[in-house]
Amino acid sequence: MKSRIGLFILIGLFLYIVDYRFSYDEDLNQIIIPDDEILGLIDTWRDQVGRDPSDEEIVRIINNLVNEEILYREALKLELDKNDRIIKRRLAQKVEFLKQDDRQPSSADLEKFYNENKSKYVVEDLFSFSHYFFSDQDNSETRARESLIKIINGDAVDSDPFILGNDLNLVSKNDLQKNFGNSFYESLTQMDENEWFGPIASDLGLHIVFIKKKVNGYVPGLNQIYQKVYGDYLIMRRRENVINFLDEIKQDYEVIINPDLTFN
């Protein structure tokens, strides 16, 4: 396979060097494609397609790579990389990647990080409940109270449609506050399970509510969320490493900004 690849490399490079005329410096005109780059592209092709590429497909893979490299060199000659915000951002991201430290954290490091950031891992209160909704209008409270009596007596209730439906399962504190308002959430925390209550006010109107299940919030132990904490620790340390690197080299740069610049 390697000998065959080497043959195609020579053929591909020969064709492109003959057909392509350069008028710039020799460094940009010399294209050397490392073996591992070609083998990596072939491995990627094999993973995506599920089989080995044919001779013709290998030639196409190599030629596409050479095409891309030639266009890249031409872009450099035309200085298209200058003052391009996307390219600057991409290169900055590469430097950030090089400055990241992926050394394995110790158990003590993870324990300390977990203890300092427990609030990030709180599992919120969860509520499963059914409800009848009465839109905010003049007679909404009367309708809600009459409906509670109907429910107790086993009669049908004529309520208003609610966008999220009448049965909600394992809704978090955050979602309750977002969709119903904080006062509605606070009311639910005071209610017992398996009993109808109301009217209860939300930001949208009034509700008659039956709580089927309440799950109190808690902070999971480190062993329960180890992978999550581990990943967050690595992200934090990588960010710190980049910040420290910037702090070290910023003194080598002079930043000039127009003091008379105005913002509309």
- 196-219: pLDDT as tens digits: 998 999 998 999 999 999 988 889
Name residues whose C-beta falls within 8 Å of residue 168's C-beta, 6 or more positions apart in sequence: 127, 128, 129, 130, 131
Could you tell me the pLDDT band of residue 113, with boundaries at 50, 70 and 90? Answer: very high
**What token pair was written down for 261?**
């610049």
Give the CA distances from residue 242 to residues 92, 93, 96, 236, in Å, rounded to whole numbers and listed in that order: 11, 10, 6, 10
pLDDT the model gives residue 18? 41
- pLDDT tens digits along 245-255: 888 888 887 77
Domains of the chain: 2-82 (no CATH), 83-115+224-248 (no CATH), 123-215 (3.10.50.40)
Nearest to 16 by CA among 79, 90, 54, 69: 69
**What token pair was written down for 37?**
């780059």
DSSP 8-state code for residue 160: B
Q: What size, in residues, is the chain? A: 264
Helix or strand (DSSP H, E) at 208: strand 205-215
In the predicted model, is pLDDT for residue 100 greater than 80? no
In the predicted model, is pLDDT for residue 134 greater than 90? yes
Could you tell me the pLDDT band of residue 4, with boundaries at 50, 70 and 90? Answer: low
Amino acid, res. 214: K
Q: CA angle at residue 77 from 76 to 82, to 5 degrees?
A: 50
In the predicted model, is pLDDT for residue 71 greater than 90? no
